[in-house]
Amino acid sequence: TAMDVLKFKVNGKEHTVGSNVSSDVMLVDYLRNYLNLRGTKYMCREGGCGACIVTASKTAGGPFVSVNSCLVSVGSCHGWEIKTIEGLGNRKDGYHPLQKSLAENNGTQCGYCSSGWIMAMHGFMESKKEATMMEVQNAFGSNLCRCTGYRPILEAFKKFAKDAPKEDRLMSLKNLSLCKTSKGGCCKSGCDDEEDWCMVREDDLGETETKKIVLKDGKIWYRPRLLKDVYQILGEN
Give the interface segment with ligand FES, choosing from 110-118, 132-140, 180-188, 205-213 (CB under 6 A).
Answer: 110-118
In this complex, which beta carbon is closest to ligand FES, that of residue 102 or of residue 200?
Answer: 102
In this complex, which beta carbon is closest to ligand FES, that of residue 55 or of residue 172?
Answer: 55
- Torsion, Cα of 197, 202, 205, 208 (10° steps): -60
Q: d(Cα 171, Cα 176) in Å, to the nearest integer?
A: 6
> If binding is defined by CB under 6 A, does position 110 make contact with ligand FES?
yes
Is 187 annotated for ligand binding? no
Is 179 annotated for ligand binding? no
Residues 14-53 that bind ligand FES (CB under 6 A): 42-45, 47-52
Q: How many residues does the chain have?
A: 237
Q: Residues 147-176 vs ligand FES: string with x where CB under 6 A?
A: xx----------------------------
Q: Give phi and psi for 226, each to the nearest 5.
A: -105, 135
Q: Give phi and psi for 124, each to the nearest 5.
A: -60, -45
In this complex, which beta carbon is closest to ligand FES, that of residue 99 or of residue 148?
Answer: 148
Query: N- to C-terminal Cα distance for the chain?
Result: 61
H/E segment holding residue 136: helix 133-138
In this complex, which beta carbon is closest to ligand FES, that of residue 79 or of residue 149?
Answer: 149
Give burial (CB, 10 Å; 0-12/13-18/19+) of 65.
middle
Residues 132-151 that bind ligand FES (CB under 6 A): 145-148
Nearest alpha-carbon partner for 202 in 216, 176, 223: 223
> If binding is defined by CB under 6 A, does position 105 make contact with ligand FES?
no
Query: Which residues are near ligand FES by CB under 6 A?
Result: 42-45, 47-52, 68, 70, 108-113, 145-148
Which residues does the annotation place in the binding site?
A: 44, 49, 52, 70, 110, 113, 145, 147
